[in-house]
Amino acid sequence: MLPNEVWEGRSAKTWTLRTLITPLSWLYGFGWQVYLAAYKIGFKTAKSPHRPVICVGNLVVGGSGKSPLTIYIAKVVQRLGRQVVIGCSGYGAPHSQDACIAPDGPLSAAEWGDEPAMFRWLLPNVPLVVGRNRVLAAELVHATFPKAVLVMDDGFQHLPLAKQFAVVIDDPMAKNFRCLPAGPYREPRWNVRRANVVVPRDFRVKTHPMRIVDVEGKTVIPQSYAVLCALGNPSKFLKMLADQYPNDRKDFPTILKGDHDPLSERDLWVDLPIELPIIVTAKDWVKLRDRTDIGERQFFIAMHEVELEPSEEFKVRVERSFNE
């Protein structure tokens, strides 16, 4: 049984399982508060090797839309005339150990992680620092790009690094506010007050119409298609896709994988009808493009962009963080 099924399922089985493991969630939440208290009372001190650091985070595991928001904020910083460096963990990839500045040019998702590879594909001229050691990452940015703004994709729960501005996504419609393992929360939800901006409470999220492109970047309008995606929360993506691009195929052929799945299985799409193009996300395309067998199938990429409104007010908040 997948975690999302345990957290969101309505059957008697999932309800019983959630109830049985809820005491573990209380224990987890208590442990997190002890960890946070160590910083609040001064037993531990967050380091600040580089300023400013803008963190785009959330409170739950899995997909919540951080990456599109990170790209948007990076562009806001550029419009304010500042150089930007994007920092990400490189989850599951060899370069996720410690931290390092990524080289120029396209990045292999297998070596650097799907999110760094995606950021480099979508923002080819923006430097990237990759690795789970966020303090070391900030030190490297300060040594290499001392005047840059470091925009971190995720890392709100990484307390050893001080952030000058934290933008946190918190879904007001969430139904399960339990901490792990009985719920999706990485820390108790009331800790959202640590953030400078909570989305969508403080700023509205404007989602641009989803654009579908072929592998050459040409816009297409699919009529019949299959879907392959590896996301933490695929339901939002599938609904948006179905609403904007109704599928002529009533069976809606779909293959879903867990978040950050490498998509390296030999017969990954064997169950999808051969005549249908396969729509994937940008994060999944950077993993699939290196496969030697993709020529057998036609792939389309779903491009997802967002912005925050009122945009000018958010721009002012970002600029103010440069001096904090």
Domain extent for 109: 53-204+307-321
The answer for residues whose C-beta is within 8 angstroms of residue 166's C-beta and 6 or more apart is: 54, 55, 57, 156, 194, 195, 196, 197
Are 281 and 192 within one domain? no
Residue 255 lies in a domain: yes
pTM: 0.94
Residue 182 lies in a domain: yes
Are 149 and 275 within one domain? no
In this structure, the number of other CB atoms found within 10 A of the CB of residue 32 comes to 18
Are 96 and 216 within one domain? no
Residue 46 lies in a domain: no
Distance of CA 248 to the CA centre of its chain: 30
pLDDT, tens only, 135-157: 999 999 999 999 999 999 999 99
Q: Read off the tokens for 131.
A: 């690795």
Residue 7 lies in a domain: no
CATH number, domain of 189, equals: 3.40.50
Output the CA torsion sign for 15, 4, 98, 42: negative
Are 60 and 121 within one domain? yes
Number of domains in the chain: 2
- At 313 the pLDDT is 98
Q: Which residue has the higher pLDDT, 296 or 266?
A: 266
The whole-angstrom separation of Cα 178 and Cα 287 is 32
Percent of the chain scored above 90 by pLDDT? 86
Residue 109 lies in a domain: yes
State the maximum Cα–Cα separation within the chain, in Å, rounded to a whole number: 62
Q: Is the pLDDT of residue 261 over 70?
A: yes
**309: closest CA among 223, 199, 219?**
199
What is the arithmetic mean of pLDDT over 41-49?
97
Q: Is the pLDDT of residue 4 over 80?
A: no
Q: Is the pLDDT of residue 279 over 80?
A: yes
Are 194 and 315 within one domain? yes
Are 109 and 255 within one domain? no
Mean pLDDT of the chain: 94
Please provide the DSSP assignment of 229-264 as one string.
EE-SSHHHHHHHHHHHS--S-TT--EEEE-TT----
Are 232 and 161 within one domain? no
What is the arithmetic mean of pLDDT over 88-98?
93
DSSP-assigned beta bridge partners for residue 309: 204
Per-residue pLDDT band at 316 (split at 50, 70, 90): very high
Are 64 and 186 within one domain? yes
Are 57 and 196 within one domain? yes
Are 272 and 157 within one domain? no
Q: Is the pLDDT of residue 177 over 70?
A: yes
Q: Is the pLDDT of residue 8 over 70?
A: yes
What is the arithmetic mean of pLDDT over 34-45?
97
Are 282 and 316 within one domain? no
- At 93 the pLDDT is 94
What is the arithmetic mean of pLDDT over 296-311?
95
What is the arithmetic mean of pLDDT over 285-297?
91
Are 298 and 228 within one domain? yes
106: DSSP letter: -
Residue 6 lies in a domain: no
Residue 189 lies in a domain: yes
Per-residue pLDDT band at 250 (split at 50, 70, 90): confident
Residue 105 lies in a domain: yes
